[in-house]
Amino acid sequence: MRKSLYHFIYTYILRWKYKVTVPMFDKCVICAAPHTTNSDLFLGKLFFGIVSNERAYFLMKKEWFFFPVGIFFRAVGGIPVDRSHKHKISMTQQMATIFAKRKCFTLAITPEGTRSANSEWKKGFYYIALEAKVPIILAGIDYATRTIVTSKYIIPNGDIDAQMQEIKQYFAQFKGKHPERFAI
Protein backbone atom coordinates (compact mmCIF):
# COMPACT_ATOMS: atom_id res chain seq x y z
CA MET A 1 0.00 0.00 0.00
CA ARG A 2 2.77 2.43 0.98
CA LYS A 3 4.77 1.70 -2.19
CA SER A 4 1.67 2.20 -4.34
CA LEU A 5 0.95 5.54 -2.71
CA TYR A 6 4.57 6.71 -3.08
CA HIS A 7 4.62 5.55 -6.70
CA PHE A 8 1.37 7.37 -7.46
CA ILE A 9 2.60 10.64 -5.92
CA TYR A 10 6.09 10.40 -7.44
CA THR A 11 5.13 9.39 -10.98
CA TYR A 12 1.59 10.62 -11.55
CA ILE A 13 1.32 13.75 -9.43
CA LEU A 14 4.92 15.01 -9.48
CA ARG A 15 5.66 13.43 -12.90
CA TRP A 16 9.10 12.10 -11.95
CA LYS A 17 10.78 8.93 -13.20
CA TYR A 18 13.47 6.68 -11.79
CA LYS A 19 16.14 4.40 -13.19
CA VAL A 20 17.74 1.82 -10.90
CA THR A 21 20.42 -0.47 -12.32
CA VAL A 22 22.28 -1.32 -9.11
CA PRO A 23 21.23 -3.69 -6.33
CA MET A 24 19.50 -2.27 -3.28
CA PHE A 25 21.74 -3.59 -0.53
CA ASP A 26 20.43 -4.42 2.95
CA LYS A 27 23.09 -2.07 4.32
CA CYS A 28 24.45 0.89 2.39
CA VAL A 29 25.13 4.59 2.32
CA ILE A 30 23.25 6.47 -0.38
CA CYS A 31 25.17 9.47 -1.66
CA ALA A 32 22.59 11.78 -3.26
CA ALA A 33 23.43 14.83 -5.38
CA PRO A 34 22.99 17.47 -6.58
CA HIS A 35 21.26 18.84 -3.50
CA THR A 36 20.13 22.36 -4.40
CA THR A 37 16.68 22.62 -2.79
CA ASN A 38 14.81 21.34 0.26
CA SER A 39 12.40 19.48 -2.04
CA ASP A 40 15.23 16.99 -2.79
CA LEU A 41 14.54 15.38 0.59
CA PHE A 42 10.90 14.68 -0.25
CA LEU A 43 11.70 13.43 -3.75
CA GLY A 44 14.37 11.17 -2.30
CA LYS A 45 12.05 9.77 0.38
CA LEU A 46 9.38 9.01 -2.23
CA PHE A 47 11.94 7.45 -4.58
CA PHE A 48 13.46 5.23 -1.91
CA GLY A 49 10.01 4.25 -0.67
CA ILE A 50 9.26 2.95 -4.16
CA VAL A 51 12.50 1.03 -4.84
CA SER A 52 13.12 -0.48 -1.40
CA ASN A 53 11.22 -2.26 1.32
CA GLU A 54 13.47 -0.64 3.92
CA ARG A 55 13.42 2.80 5.49
CA ALA A 56 16.11 5.29 4.52
CA TYR A 57 17.54 7.41 7.31
CA PHE A 58 19.25 10.74 6.76
CA LEU A 59 21.47 13.12 8.70
CA MET A 60 20.32 16.69 9.17
CA LYS A 61 21.61 19.57 11.28
CA LYS A 62 19.97 19.60 14.70
CA GLU A 63 18.62 23.12 14.23
CA TRP A 64 15.85 21.66 12.03
CA PHE A 65 14.59 19.43 14.85
CA PHE A 66 12.56 22.05 16.71
CA PHE A 67 8.96 21.44 17.78
CA PRO A 68 6.77 20.51 15.91
CA VAL A 69 8.90 20.07 12.75
CA GLY A 70 11.37 17.82 14.60
CA ILE A 71 8.63 15.26 15.23
CA PHE A 72 8.02 15.00 11.48
CA PHE A 73 11.73 14.76 10.57
CA ARG A 74 12.34 11.99 13.13
CA ALA A 75 9.24 10.13 11.92
CA VAL A 76 10.54 10.06 8.34
CA GLY A 77 14.05 8.92 9.33
CA GLY A 78 15.87 12.09 10.31
CA ILE A 79 18.88 11.83 12.61
CA PRO A 80 19.87 15.18 14.16
CA VAL A 81 23.55 16.14 13.96
CA ASP A 82 25.11 18.58 16.40
CA ARG A 83 27.96 20.21 14.50
CA SER A 84 28.73 22.81 17.18
CA HIS A 85 31.26 20.79 19.21
CA LYS A 86 33.21 17.57 19.30
CA HIS A 87 31.70 14.49 20.88
CA LYS A 88 33.41 11.60 22.63
CA ILE A 89 32.30 9.32 19.82
CA SER A 90 32.47 10.69 16.28
CA MET A 91 29.42 10.70 14.03
CA THR A 92 31.29 8.27 11.77
CA GLN A 93 31.73 5.82 14.64
CA GLN A 94 28.13 6.30 15.83
CA MET A 95 26.78 5.47 12.37
CA ALA A 96 29.18 2.51 11.95
CA THR A 97 27.89 1.15 15.27
CA ILE A 98 24.29 1.41 14.06
CA PHE A 99 25.24 -0.42 10.85
CA ALA A 100 26.89 -3.18 12.89
CA LYS A 101 23.87 -3.64 15.17
CA ARG A 102 21.19 -3.79 12.49
CA LYS A 103 20.39 -6.41 9.89
CA CYS A 104 19.22 -3.69 7.47
CA PHE A 105 20.18 -0.02 7.55
CA THR A 106 20.31 2.59 4.81
CA LEU A 107 21.70 6.07 5.39
CA ALA A 108 21.24 8.80 2.77
CA ILE A 109 23.66 11.73 2.78
CA THR A 110 24.18 14.70 0.46
CA PRO A 111 27.93 15.18 0.03
CA GLU A 112 27.80 18.94 -0.51
CA GLY A 113 26.62 19.43 3.07
CA THR A 114 24.60 22.47 1.95
CA ARG A 115 22.20 23.62 -0.74
CA SER A 116 24.70 26.23 -1.93
CA ALA A 117 27.53 25.74 -4.41
CA ASN A 118 30.37 23.97 -2.61
CA SER A 119 33.12 22.16 -4.49
CA GLU A 120 34.69 21.04 -1.19
CA TRP A 121 32.36 18.14 -0.54
CA LYS A 122 32.03 16.63 2.91
CA LYS A 123 33.67 13.23 3.15
CA GLY A 124 31.75 11.91 6.13
CA PHE A 125 29.52 9.69 3.98
CA TYR A 126 32.66 8.00 2.60
CA TYR A 127 34.23 7.48 6.03
CA ILE A 128 30.95 6.11 7.44
CA ALA A 129 30.71 3.58 4.59
CA LEU A 130 34.40 2.67 4.93
CA GLU A 131 34.14 2.17 8.70
CA ALA A 132 30.86 0.24 8.41
CA LYS A 133 32.19 -1.81 5.46
CA VAL A 134 29.14 -1.06 3.31
CA PRO A 135 28.76 0.07 -0.33
CA ILE A 136 27.95 3.61 -1.39
CA ILE A 137 25.07 3.86 -3.87
CA LEU A 138 25.23 7.00 -6.01
CA ALA A 139 21.80 8.57 -6.55
CA GLY A 140 21.70 11.39 -9.08
CA ILE A 141 18.79 13.83 -8.86
CA ASP A 142 18.23 15.24 -12.35
CA TYR A 143 15.68 18.02 -12.64
CA ALA A 144 16.38 18.38 -16.38
CA THR A 145 14.83 14.95 -17.04
CA ARG A 146 12.86 14.72 -13.76
CA THR A 147 14.60 11.45 -12.97
CA ILE A 148 16.49 9.97 -10.03
CA VAL A 149 19.18 7.63 -11.33
CA THR A 150 21.10 5.00 -9.36
CA SER A 151 23.38 3.38 -11.90
CA LYS A 152 26.63 3.15 -9.95
CA TYR A 153 27.89 2.07 -6.58
CA ILE A 154 31.29 2.26 -4.95
CA ILE A 155 32.93 -0.13 -2.53
CA PRO A 156 35.11 2.14 -0.36
CA ASN A 157 38.74 0.98 -0.43
CA GLY A 158 40.41 3.77 1.53
CA ASP A 159 41.77 5.65 -1.53
CA ILE A 160 39.49 8.57 -0.81
CA ASP A 161 41.03 11.02 -3.29
CA ALA A 162 40.61 8.69 -6.28
CA GLN A 163 37.16 7.49 -5.23
CA MET A 164 35.87 11.02 -4.46
CA GLN A 165 36.99 12.04 -7.96
CA GLU A 166 35.08 9.06 -9.40
CA ILE A 167 32.00 10.02 -7.38
CA LYS A 168 32.14 13.66 -8.50
CA GLN A 169 32.53 12.61 -12.14
CA TYR A 170 29.38 10.49 -11.83
CA PHE A 171 27.34 13.43 -10.52
CA ALA A 172 28.60 15.86 -13.20
CA GLN A 173 25.91 14.55 -15.57
CA PHE A 174 22.98 15.63 -13.36
CA LYS A 175 21.31 19.03 -13.09
CA GLY A 176 19.85 20.22 -9.79
CA LYS A 177 16.76 22.38 -9.54
CA HIS A 178 19.12 25.33 -9.14
CA PRO A 179 22.20 24.32 -11.20
CA GLU A 180 24.12 27.40 -10.07
CA ARG A 181 24.09 25.99 -6.54
CA PHE A 182 25.96 22.81 -7.52
CA ALA A 183 29.73 22.65 -7.83
CA ILE A 184 32.02 19.73 -8.54
So where are the chain's domains? 2-178
Give per-residue pLDDT as tens, 66-109. 899 889 888 888 888 876 666 666 888 889 999 999 999 999 99
Give per-residue pLDDT as tens, 5-63. 999 999 999 999 999 999 999 999 999 999 888 889 899 999 999 999 888 998 888 88
Looking at residue 164, its pLDDT comes to 95
Distance CA(53)–CA(104), nearest Å, equals 10
Whether residue 118 is predicted with pLDDT greater than 90 in this model: the reply is: no
